Chains A and B, each alone.
Chain A
Amino acid sequence: MAQKVLMKGNEAVAEAAIRAGCRLYFAYPITPQSELIEYMAKMMPKVKGTFIQAESEVAAINMVYGASGCGRRVMTSSSSPGISLKMEGLSYIAGAKLPAVVVNIQRGGPGLGDIQPSQADYFQATKGGGHGDYRLIVLAPNSVQEFADMASEAFDLADKYRNPVMLLADGLLGQMMEPVEFKPAKTEEEIEKLNKQHYDWCMRTNEDGDDRHHHEINSLELDPNVLEKHVLSLHEKYKDIQKNEVRYEKINVKDDNEILCVAYGTASRIVKSAITELQKEGHSVGLVRPITVWPYPSEVIANSITKKTKKVIVFELSLGQMVEDVKLAVNGKLPVDFLGRAGGIVFTPDEVIAKIKESL
């Protein structure tokens, strides 16, 4: 068994990305994400990778666009205001069907907001953010270990579907230290193999002059008939992703649940604490934790409702974004209630307990 080390989420996800074969990383510093870029600045030269502190977030995402067009495992990261700046680039990357990984360590908004943990970028991450009919695959970790594990998973998903993947974390997960155990690092041969899987479409040197090696990476198509066909093909891909890649965790979800809670990421940890306390008092409360927030585990939420369930309550570090997806999943069968905090405030287990007790 590998040794456990105590690490911040920001550092752990960077280390895990390098181990997963990421050798190209472009970003611009921003709190509470800066340990990630610092770690990459220190470690990339040691693995013969390339680290560039770009002149802006916009430049960084377009460097990612170029590198992913060459079929390489590439990553960028930022926090909320910086992620907004990357949205144009992400739309281009999604339109051009390119694999890339983006980490968002969310902080309080809107605007420059503050630097404390938040989940207020849910709409941006799951409903577009950039323009056009596209989707990101969005993974939302709730521990440092899961954050690290998701780095390699994100690259695998990005490669499999040729689609950008976002890791949606927050300031608490970025700044917190927890024990983490890393998977073995990919060897140079394995990384070479990963690069070669994209040779039939990516940009690369045309050594033998054979035209079949000529590829174009582009998101512009002026003929609407051709563009519609392209967008439809993207949506076929999204259907596959919705069918195959939904991930979730059920915590204490049982037939006798009086209340079903839904929360993801940091919020889910607070709700889990509250549920444990309520259990000691004899109350049965379940929690569905979406691990992918797109594709969304709608069916799992719908199927977790039993005859005993009186209400579904959604907990978010925002004033209500994911709650819309939960309402779609519940589809009017039960009332859907909500508790959220904004501005970088994290609710305490006591606040969550009080909210649940209103309905017990």
Chain B
Amino acid sequence: MKADIICSGFGGQGVLTIGKFLAQAAMKEGKKVSWLPSYGPEMRGGTANVSVIISDNDIASPLVSNPSILVALNQPSLDKFGPPTQKGGVILVNSDMTPNKLKRDDVDITYAPMSSIAIECGSTRVLNMVSIGMVIGKTKLVKYETMEQDLRDFLEVKSPELLEANLKALQMGMEYFG
């Protein structure tokens, strides 16, 4: 098993965190992982992205050029990483911020109003948790239980008041696929 993931969006949408939580949960489930952020001037108000690899085997290059899973939270992200996504790859798109669809029919693409779902959960800040829930619901990449525990461990120390909205977002993302 090897998943090449790119999560991409505006700086502040929490794409680096999406990648970190996915990598951390996979690590706890015994997988090899790497997490490599884009860092540089493009992060200031522009597009930020992270390459995550989750694999049964040792990871050689941590760079992802052709993702098997793409999470695109805005239009520039879909435009940039949609075309190089692997044939048959999974693409999860935040339809609230992507008026233009990707012109490909050889990928498994889902347009979901992730920002609206996040607001329904209580805050636009939980957008990244909606995305993580959707990745789990669509790909079963990691177990929901592992992710929930990580989220609890993280937020109970940092900001317990945000836990409920985050957990709800995680669940709603996951249940998007029924």
**Interface residues, chain A, CB within 8 Å of chain B?**
4, 6, 31-32, 114-116, 171-172, 175-179, 269-270, 272-273, 276, 346, 348-350
Contact = CB atoms under 8 A, between A and B. Distances in A.
Nearest to B32: A179
Contacts of B61: 269-270, 272-273, 348-349
Interface in B24-39: 24, 27, 32-37, 39
A179 B63 CA distance: 16
B149 interface: no
B85 to A, nearest CB: 16
A272 B61 CA distance: 7
Nearest to B34: A178
Given A6-B20, A179-B27, A269 B60 contact: yes
A6 B35 contact: yes
Contacts of A175: 36-37, 39
B40 A176 contact: no
A176 B60 contact: no
A155 B24 CA distance: 30
Nearest to A275: B60
Given A6-B20, A350-B65, A176 B27 contact: no
Interface residues of B, number: 18
Given A176-B35, A273-B60, A348-B61, 12 more contacts: A6-B35, A31-B39, A176-B62, A178-B34, A178-B59, A179-B27, A179-B33, A269-B61, A269-B62, A270-B63, A273-B61, A348-B63
A179 B62 CA distance: 13
Given A272-B61, A273-B61, A276-B60, A172 B36 contact: yes
B40 A177 contact: no
Interface of A is mostly: mixed
Contact of B35 (A4, A177, A270, A350): A177
Given A6-B33, A115-B39, A178-B34, A346 B20 contact: no
30 contacts: A6-B20, A6-B23, A6-B24, A6-B35, A31-B39, A114-B40, A115-B40, A116-B40, A171-B39, A172-B62, A175-B36, A176-B36, A176-B62, A177-B20, A177-B23, A177-B34, A177-B36, A178-B33, A179-B27, A179-B32, A179-B33, A269-B60, A269-B62, A270-B61, A270-B63, A272-B60, A272-B61, A348-B61, A349-B60, A350-B65
Nearest to B36: A176
Interface in B1-32: 20, 23-24, 27, 32
Contacts of B59: 178
A270 B60 contact: yes
Interface of B: 20, 23-24, 27, 32-37, 39-40, 59-63, 65
Nearest to B57: A276
Nearest to B50: A177
Nearest to B52: A177
B34 A176 contact: yes
Contact of B39 (A32, A272, A348, A349): A32
Contacts of B36: 172, 175-177
Nearest to A179: B27
A114 B41 CA distance: 10
B27 A6 contact: yes
Contacts of B27: 4, 6, 179
A115 to B, nearest CB: 6
Which of A4, A179, A270, A348 has the largest number of chain B CB atoms within 10 A? A179
A346 B60 contact: no
Contacts of A31: 39
Nearest to B23: A6
